Homo-oligomer: A and B are copies of this chain.
Amino acid sequence: MSQTPTGVTAPRGFAAAGIAAGIKSTAGSKDLALVVNRGPAFASAGVFTSNRVVAAPVTLTRAHLAKTGLKAVILNSGGANACTGGPGLADAEATAAKVSALLGCEPDEVGVCSTGMIGVRLPLDALMTGAEAAAAALANTPGAGADAAEAIRTTDTVSKTHVSMHGGGWTIGAMAKGAGMLAPGLATMLCVLTTDALVDDATARRALAKAVRTTFNRTDSDGCMSTNDSVILLASGASGIEPEETEFTEALRSACYDLARQLIADAEGASHDIEIRVVGASSEEAGEAVARAVSRSNLFKTAVFGNDPNWGRILSEVGTVPESLAPYDPDELDVSINGVMVCRGGGVGEDRALVDMTPREVRVLIDLKAGSEEVAVWTNDLTHDYVHENSAYSS
């Protein structure tokens, strides 16, 4: 077969499956994915939501990573298994135990990820039967990677995958989902990254943490932080190549950036992808605070939806960031939208009518003139379709 490798099955040493287990209410929809590291090495790492209200699968997977590391991950859409208390945790444990029995590994070596509505128990029978079907369907084909990516979709209109080949002949593959509840710490999302690079657990952990910090964590669609966000890295070592840590980290960062942009591009109802780039910041924290404030402004985001370069709504958000966090002089601020400096020195700049807002990508550049740090956050506009999708989601 000459089919292009797709997602998590692209690197050597991995098998995957995506099947319809009957968890989603829409019959026949794929809703259960399994990703297995077949070695020879078994390094792993994970980054999870910083929400204090965490879903049962997050609690379980965190504990498994801390104890033994992961050899496999099972992921379901159709229910978040969040706010389900002790019974929900027992469901996640039963799922990991079932997968371990099917694969012949320890329960502690299985990660579990769930996505969907909060506050509803998962149908455990469907999960158990589905896990058997998924294990039976495991393959290292491109189609298996595609099936897995398909199975974790919720309101995503397309599957998100990534494949990149690196220097000495090692590969990163990945799949992700996320379309709403996208906010840092993390964007609301599930992501599994696979690689046949030979790295140890400590390297995997450091690299993943760095990669996520400036990519997924700077993706802010609607300011809402999830209870289920999980980014998991599995490394098989099957290429036999041990990359430099800096090279590996950069490759991982690049993969995460690609996936983060795919998430924003498919964000619920969005009609514009918006980059908020802050330059001249006194510190990275200052730049991020300013970019984040603008990225969360409903007024700015509705203006972009209306193709209106309403820079006053940008400045009014910049002004909400405390001086202790981001020093700048309000009378020095410059703001450009799609290359036109509509605000100069805190006041009226070029004619706003010169700004072309029709491209899908809108680039906002804010110069704080208070230092030399630069930070970019990606967000999207606030549209009728966002309101529609999220007012109708669970009813």
The prevalent SS among residues of A at the interface is: loop
List, in ascending order, chain B residues with CB within 8 A of A85's CB: 331, 345-348
Assess whether B347 is in contact with A225, with CB atoms less than 8 Å apart.
Answer: no
List, in ascending order, chain B residues with CB within 8 A of A296's CB: 223
A208 contacts the other chain (CB 8 A) = no
Assess whether B390 is in contact with A299, with CB atoms less than 8 Å apart.
Answer: yes
Assess whether B51 is in contact with A302, with CB atoms less than 8 Å apart.
Answer: no
- Distance, CA A121 to CA B347, complexed state (A): 10
A82 contacts the other chain (CB 8 A) = yes
Contact of A303 among B87, B297, B321, B393 (CB under 8 A): B393
Give chain A's interface residue range (CB within 8 Å of chain B). 35 or more
List, in ascending order, chain B residues with CB within 8 A of A373's CB: none
Q: Knowing A118-B313, A227-B316, say if A222 contacts B306 (CB, 8 Å).
A: no
Assess whether B348 is in contact with A119, with CB atoms less than 8 Å apart.
Answer: yes
Task: Report A59-91 residues with CB < 8 Å from chain B CB.
Answer: 80, 82-85, 87-88
Query: Which residues of A are interface residues toward B (Cβ below 8 A)?
Result: 51-54, 80, 82-85, 87-88, 117-121, 180-181, 222-227, 296-299, 302-303, 305-308, 310-313, 315-321, 323, 330-331, 333, 342-343, 345-348, 352, 382-384, 386-388, 390-395
Q: Can you sample 20 A-B contacts with CB below 8 Å?
A: A51-B320, A53-B315, A53-B319, A82-B312, A83-B347, A117-B312, A118-B310, A119-B312, A119-B342, A120-B348, A121-B348, A222-B298, A224-B298, A225-B319, A225-B320, A227-B312, A227-B316, A298-B298, A303-B393, A383-B391
- What 7 pairs across the A-B complex have the smallest Cβ distances? A118-B312, A306-B391, A53-B319, A85-B347, A302-B390, A51-B319, A52-B319
